[in-house]
Amino acid sequence: MIDLTPREQHVLAALELGLPNKLIAVKLNLSENTVKMHIQHILRKCSAHNRTEAVLRWSGRLSGHNGHARARAPSSS
């Protein structure tokens, strides 16, 4: 599991919603530069090249460094 700080987890949750940096900053009462810094830390910790990849890696829908999505077993409901 990737070790993110609580604030990085908040920023990542906002990234999952597709929010732009400016809205993330307003929502979390941070400066836009601070949001950018947190996103850079998240990208590095997730070994991701962009925001979308970071969200996919964190959620477990993307594994490894090759960029291929991991197949998920169907859930039994």
Which CATH number is 55's domain given? 1.10.10.10
Nearest C-alpha neighbor of 51 from the set 11, 22, 23 = 11
Total of domains in the chain? 1
Indicate if the alpha-carbon torsion angle 61, 64, 68, 71 is positive or negative: negative
The whole-model pTM stands at 0.76
Q: What is the pLDDT of residue 64?
A: 57
Does residue 77 sit within a domain? Answer: no
Residue 31: inside a domain, yes or no? yes
Which residue segment(s) compose the domain that 45 sits in? 6-59
pLDDT (tens digit per residue) in 19-70: 999 999 999 999 999 999 999 999 999 999 999 999 999 888 666 544 444 4
For residue 53, being part of any structural domain is answered with yes
